[in-house]
C-alpha cells in the first residue's frame, strides 16, 4: 500500500471559516425565523467578518512581512495565496449580505418597521430630521479638510466616517467627518409608525451644510479595519511589568494598528476610493463596497424600540432557562452533588444550581477554599459577587483570570481588580498559554476528611451567554476528579504545564494524547472486526495530527460522526479514505458551543465533555480541561444529545466531498430541529418524585478510614 495522501482530504482553515460565516448569513433567509431575528443574523455575519479580518487576515499579513517562509500545513498555500483567495471569496459574500439586508428591510417595512434614506424623506420629515441634526448632531461633529496643512486623520478601528470630495475653484480636496459615538446610530421620526434614519446617512446628507464654503462632488460612508492580531505576551512576563497595565496598553494600541481593509457605502468616485486606498496603504483587493450599512449592530437597538405587539411578530418568543430536573428545589445543592453527579445543559436549563452552589459554599463553615478559572464573565456577574462574598467570609478564594480573552480584556481587567480588592488571590494566565479551561474546585472539611466538589464545563462562567450558548457543565463529588482538579490548580500556580493527571485531560499535558489514545482504541477494535464508533461535537476542527488519525480510523472501518459548527479542515465522504466520516454543522437560534467526545459502542462507550476543540491552539497552545462522565444516566443523556443533533434535518447542513455544505430538508422524514427539541424537553414537567430509600452514610476514602472510625466512636460521625 502506497503512502497515504492525507492532504487530499484537507481544506484551508480560513476558507472553511468563510463557508461557516456564509451558513450564518443563510439564516437570514430562513422563512421560519422572525424577521428581526433574521436581521440579527446579518449583523452577526458582519461582526464575525470584522473579527475575521482583524485577527485571521491580520495574522496572514504579519506572516507575509515577518515569516515569508510560512505556509498552511494542510493545503501548502503561502500567506499571500491564502489572502488572495480570501479576498476573492469575500466579494460574493458582500453581495449576498446586500441582498439579504435589502430584502429584510422591505419585509420589515411591510411589518411597520421602516428604515428610510434621507433622500426618501418627505418635506415634513426632512424638517424634523434637520432640526434634530442641528440640535443633537452638529454640535458634536469634528469635520476636517485634508490638505497640506491638515494631514489625513487617524481613523479608529471600525469607526464610521463620512468621506467627501469637495471643490472650491481649484483642484478637488477631500474631507472627513467622523461619526462620534455620542451621536448614536438611529433617529426615529415622529408618528405612530416606527420609521427611522441612520445617523451616518443623516451626516452624509448634510455634508453641504457642514462644508458650506465648498461644493460637495460626492459623498459616502467609510470604515477602516485594522490589524488586531498582536502578541499579547511580548514583554509581559518581565519581573517589573504590571499585567493589568500592560493589557490596558494593548487595548489602546489595537485601535491604532495598520489598516488591512477599507469598506465604503455610497457613491464614491474612483478618484476618492483611489485616494483613500493609497493613503491607507491598501491594495485594490482590500477595498469592499457595500450597499448595506457597514455596522449593523444597531439592529439590536430596534428590539427595544418596537411595540410589544411587534415584538411577538418580529422576534423569537423569549425562552426562559428551566430548572434542572436533576436538582431538587429547596435542598442543599452541596448535599445533592455529594450524593450524585449533576449535569446542567445551557441554555435549556438554568445556571442557577451552579450559582447556588457557590453561594452556599461562600457561607458554609465547612468550606475551606474555592478555586476557579475565569475566561469571559458577565459585566454584572452574580458569580463574581459570590466569590467576593466567600473571600469576605474568610474562605481562601483563588481566581485564575485570563486577561487575554480577545476583545473582552477590558472587562476582565476591571473584574480582576475588584476581586483582588475583595481579598481574592488573582493569578494572571500562563506564559505563552491562554487559560481557556472552565473548572471550579470547592474544598470542604467533612467528617474529619477533606472532600472535593468539582465543576467542569464547556462554556464560560457567564450568566448572559449561558442563556444564548449551548453548553454543558458537570457537578461531581468524585474524589479522583477532585484530586486531579486540586493538582491542576497547584500546577498552574507553579506555572507547571507538564503535570500528570489520572482522570482529567489537561492541555497541553495530555489532552491531545488522550484523544489520540481513544481514536487508536477504536481503530484497534475495527481491525479486530468489532463495531467501532467515534462521536464528536465541537466548534472547530483544525488539528492536522487529529485529522490524519481520523482518516486512518475511517480507512480502518470506524464509523465517525462529527457535529462541527464552524471551521472544519477535514473533508468527509472521499471514497477509500473518509467515506466512513459524516460531518454536519448546525447554526440556529442558540450558538452551538458545547464539546462532547465519545468513543465506543453500547455500554462500553466512553464519554467526555471538554472546554477545548480539536484545534491546534486548544490542544497545544492553551490550557484546557476535559472530564470523563462516569454516571450511566448522564452518559446516556449526552449520547442522546448527539443522536438528536445528528438527526437534525431543519438547521443541520451536511458537508460533502466537494467541500459544499447542503441544508438538510425533511422530505421523507418528520422534521427534527435539535434546538427546538431540547427547548420542548426542558419545558416538560419533571417526573413525579418517587420515595427514596434512606441515605447511606458515605464512607470516606480508604486513607481516611481510621479517622472516620475515631470520629464515629467519639460520636462525631
Measured distance CA(628)–CA(612) in Å, rounded? 14
DSSP assignments along 349-396, one per residue: B-SHHHHHHHHHHHH-TTEEEEEEEESS--SS-HHHHHHHHHHHTT-E
Pairing between β-strand 622-628 and β-strand 652-655 as defined by DSSP bridges: unpaired
Provide the β-strand partners of residue 372: 399, 440
Could you tell me the three cell numbers for 600?
465506543
Active site residue 436: yes
Residue 260 DSSP code: E
Q: 188, 138 in Cβ contact below 8 A? A: no
How many other CB atoms are there within 10 angstroms of residue 409's CB atom?
19
The residue behind cell 497595565 is: 245
Measured distance CA(715)–CA(530) in Å, rounded? 55
Measured distance CA(82)–CA(683) in Å, rounded? 47
630-644 burial, b for 16+ CB within 10 Å, e for fewer? bbeebbebbbebbee
Strand order in the sheet with 113-116: 113-116, 194-198, 186-188
Measured distance CA(161)–CA(142) in Å, rounded? 11
Could you tell me the three cell numbers for 661?
455544505
Measured distance CA(407)–CA(76) in Å, rounded? 30
- What is the 3 state secondary structure string of 640-702? HHHHHHHHCCCCEEEECCCCCEEECCCCCCCCCCHHHHHHHHHHCCCCCCCCCCCCCCCCCCH
Check 40, 359, 386, 436 and give the catalytic one: 436
Measured distance CA(101)–CA(294) in Å, rounded? 11
How many other CB atoms are there within 10 angstroms of residue 260's CB atom?
24
Cα angle: 397, vertex 399, 401; to 5 degrees: 165
Burial of 133 (0-12, 13-18, 19+ CB in 10 A): buried
Catalytic positions, written as ranges:
436
Amino acid at each position: 500500500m502506497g503512502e497515504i495522501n492525507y492532504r487530499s482530504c484537507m481544506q484551508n482553515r480560513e476558507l472553511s471559516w468563510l463557508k461557516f460565516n456564509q451558513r450564518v448569513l443563510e439564516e437570514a433567509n430562513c422563512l421560519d425565523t422572525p424577521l428581526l431575528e433574521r436581521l440579527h443574523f446579518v449583523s452577526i455575519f458582519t461582526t464575525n467578518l470584522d473579527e475575521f479580518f482583524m485577527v485571521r487576515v491580520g495574522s496572514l499579513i504579519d506572516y507575509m512581512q515577518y515569516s515569508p517562509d510560512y505556509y498552511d500545513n494542510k493545503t501548502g498555500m503561502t500567506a499571500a495565496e491564502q489572502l488572495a483567495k480570501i479576498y476573492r471569496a469575500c466579494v460574493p459574500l458582500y453581495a449576498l449580505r446586500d441582498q439579504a439586508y435589502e430584502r429584510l428591510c422591505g419585509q420589515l417595512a411591510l411589518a411597520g418597521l421602516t428604515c428610510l434614506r434621507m433622500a426618501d424623506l418627505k418635506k415634513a420629515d426632512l424638517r424634523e430630521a434637520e432640526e434634530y441634526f442641528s440640535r443633537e448632531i452638529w454640535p458634536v461633529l469634528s469635520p476636517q479638510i485634508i490638505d497640506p496643512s491638515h494631514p489625513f486623520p487617524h481613523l479608529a478601528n471600525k469607526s464610521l466616517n463620512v468621506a467627501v470630495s469637495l471643490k472650491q475653484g481649484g483642484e478637488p480636496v477631500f474631507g472627513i467627518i467622523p461619526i462620534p459615538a455620542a451621536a448614536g446610530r438611529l433617529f426615529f421620526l415622529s408618528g405612530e409608525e416606527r420609521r427611522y434614519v441612520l445617523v451616518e446617512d443623516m451626516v452624509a446628507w448634510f455634508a453641504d451644510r457642514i462644508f458650506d464654503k465648498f461644493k460637495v462632488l460626492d459623498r459616502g460612508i467609510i470604515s477602516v479595519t485594522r490589524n488586531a492580531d498582536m502578541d499579547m505576551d511580548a514583554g509581559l512576563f518581565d519581573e517589573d511589568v504590571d499585567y493589568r497595565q500592560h493589557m490596558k496598553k494593548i487595548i489602546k494600541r489595537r485601535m491604532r494598528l495598520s489598516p488591512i481593509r477599507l469598506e465604503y457605502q455610497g457613491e464614491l468616485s474612483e478618484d476618492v476610493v483611489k485616494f483613500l486606498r493609497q493613503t491607507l496603504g491598501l491594495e485594490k483587493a482590500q477595498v469592499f463596497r457595500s450597499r448595506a450599512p457597514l455596522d449593523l449592530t444597531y439592529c439590536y437597538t430596534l428590539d427595544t424600540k418596537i411595540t410589544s405587539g411587534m415584538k411577538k411578530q418580529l422576534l423569537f418568543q423569549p425562552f426562559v432557562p428551566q430548572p434542572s430536573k436533576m436538582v431538587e428545589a429547596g435542598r442543599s445543592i452541596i448535599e445533592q452533588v455529594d450524593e450524585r453527579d449533576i449535569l446542567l445543559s445551557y441554555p435549556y436549563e438554568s445556571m442557577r444550581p451552579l450559582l447556588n452552589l457557590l453561594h452556599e459554599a461562600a457561607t458554609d463553615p465547612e468550606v475551606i477554599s474555592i478555586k476557579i478559572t475565569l475566561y469571559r464573565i458577565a459585566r454584572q456577574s452574580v458569580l463574581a459577587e459570590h466569590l467576593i462574598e466567600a473571600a469576605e467570609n474568610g474562605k481562601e478564594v483563588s481566581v485564575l483570570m485570563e486577561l487575554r480573552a480577545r476583545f473582552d480584556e477590558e472587562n476582565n481587567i476591571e473584574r480582576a481588580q475588584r476581586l483582588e480588592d475583595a481579598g481574592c488571590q488573582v493569578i494572571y494566565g500562563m506564559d505563552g498559554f491562554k487559560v481557556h479551561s472552565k473548572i471550579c474546585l470547592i474544598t470542604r472539611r467533612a467528617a474529619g476528611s477533606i472532600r472535593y466538589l468539582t465543576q467542569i464545563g464547556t462554556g464560560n462562567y457567564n450568566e448572559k451567554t449561558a442563556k444564548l450558548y449551548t453548553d454543558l457543565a458537570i457537578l461531581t463529588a468524585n474524589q479522583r476528579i477532585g484530586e486531579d482538579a486540586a493538582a491542576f490548580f497547584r500546577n498552574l500556580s507553579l506555572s507547571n504545564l507538564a503535570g500528570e493527571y489520572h482522570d482529567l485531560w489537561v492541555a497541553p499535558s495530555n489532552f491531545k494524547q488522550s484523544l489520540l489514545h481513544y481514536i487508536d482504541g477504536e481503530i484497534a477494535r475495527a481491525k479486530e472486526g468489532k463495531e467501532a464508533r467515534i462521536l464528536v461535537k465541537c466548534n472547530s476542527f483544525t488539528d492536522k495530527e487529529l485529522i490524519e488519525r481520523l482518516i486512518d480510523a475511517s480507512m480502518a472501518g470506524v464509523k465517525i460522526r462529527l457535529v462541527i459548527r464552524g471551521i472544519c479542515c477535514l473533508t468527509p465522504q472521499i471514497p477509500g479514505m473518509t467515506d466512513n466520516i459524516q460531518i454536519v454543522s448546525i447554526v440556529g437560534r442558540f450558538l452551538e458551543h458545547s464539546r462532547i467526545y465519545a468513543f465506543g459502542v453500547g455500554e462500553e462507550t466512553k464519554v467526555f465533555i471538554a472546554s477545548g476543540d480539536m484545534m491546534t491552539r486548544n490542544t497545544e497552545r492553551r490550557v484546557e480541561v476535559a472530564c470523563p462522565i462516569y454516571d450511566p444516566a448522564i452518559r446516556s443523556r449526552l449520547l442522546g444529545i448527539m443522536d438528536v443533533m445528528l438527526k437534525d434535518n431543519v438547521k443541520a447542513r451536511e458537508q460533502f466531498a466537494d467541500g459544499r455544505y447542503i441544508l438538510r430538508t425533511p422530505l421523507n422524514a418528520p422534521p427534527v430541529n435539535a434546538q427546538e427539541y431540547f427547548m420542548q424537553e426542558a419545558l416538560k414537567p419533571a417526573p413525579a418524585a418517587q420515595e427514596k430509600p434512606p441515605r447511606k452514610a458515605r464512607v470516606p476514602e480508604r486513607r481516611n478510614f481510621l479517622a472516620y472510625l475515631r470520629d464515629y466512636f467519639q460520636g462525631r460521625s
